[in-house]
Structure 1
Amino acid sequence: MVARPSRSAPRPLPPAPDGAALRAVALAYLARFSATRAGVTRVLTRHVERWARRAVDGGMDAEEAARAVQPARARIAGIVADMEGLGAVDDARFAEFRARSLARAGRSRRMVAAHLSARGVDEATAGVAVEEALGARDGEGRETELAAALVFIRKRRAGPFLRADADEAEVALRHRRAMDAMARAGFTRDTACAALDMDRDEAEDRIMRMRMA
């Protein structure tokens, strides 16, 4: 009978994270992802919390583990500020880029703003970024919103993107479903109707213009 290999011993617990370790974590993350101040703060906080959990799992008293990582917690804000000073973190740049990208993917202005808020961008910064990326709500922004709505319904093959041989029942069903989906996605009724009633060639042209802007 062949003996089963013994389980490997658990990895020894490394020292509690210090400023150098947290800085390395931040730089490694930002080399791969664009992030906000809040996003980098969450990454570093999770890193510290993982160490504390490992310490407790390894037998360390919970209060002792909490004391061990307290200096690291206190350094997080300074490291995030350092990343911002290096230009690796820029909430305004992040928000403008993400707003433009989301609109091109078919997200409404309202959903873009909600996404930026969830990523930790403050309301004032998000508002400026949305205006810069998508245009003023009562001007160019209306055209961008309509183009985003067209992208949204193209994915659902509704309106001008419905197959040519669809019968009346399918047309009505897809129209109703698209209206409901667009309302949930944050598009106004007027925008939804304009998108669904548009000619296909014009719809494709509007999408292309938005993506080339």
Structure 2
Amino acid sequence: MAFGGGRSDGGRPERRAPRKITPDYLQRAAMHYLERYAAPAAQLRRVLARKVAVSCRHHEQDPSTFEAMLDEVVARCVSSGLVDDQRFAQARAATLKRKGRSARAVAASLSAKGVGRELAQAASATSEDDELAAARKAARRKRLGPWSRGDRAATRQKDLAALARAGFSMTIARAVVDGAGDEEAEC
């Protein structure tokens, strides 16, 4: 018996050929994706465009002929309320803020998902106290500043740099890294 999953030829099983693109297929693919993931309109369009590209490569068709069909399916999902960029941005921003991400990192993450710049900025806006709380969460999770186990004075610059790379301002990074351990009770 040959190794490789019990197949005598040792190869992988052949993949199914991708389906031909139809409006009904694209709509079902969009619904299937949205059942599993929350997504802004741009992300849904990217996912469907990848399906179109794979199918067109296999069936030797031109992907640009399906642009209007893609736009129609995405517009239908938006008009029915299945896709709402603002709701997605607010929910995703809240999740990232709870994890201790900076406002800059939240805005960058939302922009990468396809949320518009203005909407991403609005959803990621925080007060200075919220930003300080997020920085404390990030520092605690990464064991920086008051939560480090080693010599705090020796690692101060590295801790400041880590928080700066995470998108926090230097004043907030200094406040967290130089802060006493009593902030730990506040978080």
CA RMSD of aligned residues (A): 2.6
Q: How does 1:52-201 map to 2 (within 5 A)?
A: 52-55=56-59, 62=60, 65-66=61-62, 69-131=63-125, 134=126, 141-163=127-149, 166=150, 170-201=151-182
Per-residue CA deviations over 1:98-117 (Å, capped at 9, x if unaligned) read 11211221211111111111
Contact 2:40 2:83 in 1 (8 A): yes
CA change 1:177–1:16 in 2 (3 A) is: same
CA change 1:192–1:4 in 2 (3 A) is: closer
Correspondence for 1:37: 41
Match of 1:51 among 46, 55, 65: 55
- The separation in 1 between residues aligned to 2:47 and 2:185, in whole angstroms, is 40
- Give the match's secondary structure for 2:21: coil
CA change 1:173–1:116 in 2 (3 A) is: same
- The separation in 2 between residues aligned to 1:112 and 1:6, in whole angstroms, is 46
Q: CA deviation at 1:73?
A: 2.7
**Aligned-residue identity in percent:** 36
- The separation in 1 between residues aligned to 2:15 and 2:167, in whole angstroms, is 49
- The separation in 2 between residues aligned to 1:119 and 1:186, in whole angstroms, is 18
- The separation in 2 between residues aligned to 1:15 and 1:160, in whole angstroms, is 56
- The separation in 2 between residues aligned to 1:159 and 1:5, in whole angstroms, is 58
Letter in 2 for 1:145: E
Aligned residues: 183
Letter in 2 for 1:28: H
Contact 1:156 1:178 in 2 (8 A): no
Contact 1:18 1:71 in 2 (8 A): no
- The separation in 1 between residues aligned to 2:180 and 2:144, in whole angstroms, is 12
Q: CA deviation at 1:16?
A: 1.8
CA change 1:71–1:142 in 2 (3 A) is: same
Q: CA deviation at 1:22?
A: 0.5
Contact 1:19 1:72 in 2 (8 A): no
Per-residue CA deviations over 1:115-141 (Å, capped at 9, x if unaligned) read 11111111221222223xx3xxxxxx1
Contact 2:103 2:167 in 1 (8 A): yes
Q: TM-score, normalised by structure 2?
A: 0.85
Gaps of 5+ in 2: none
Q: TM-score, normalised by structure 1?
A: 0.76
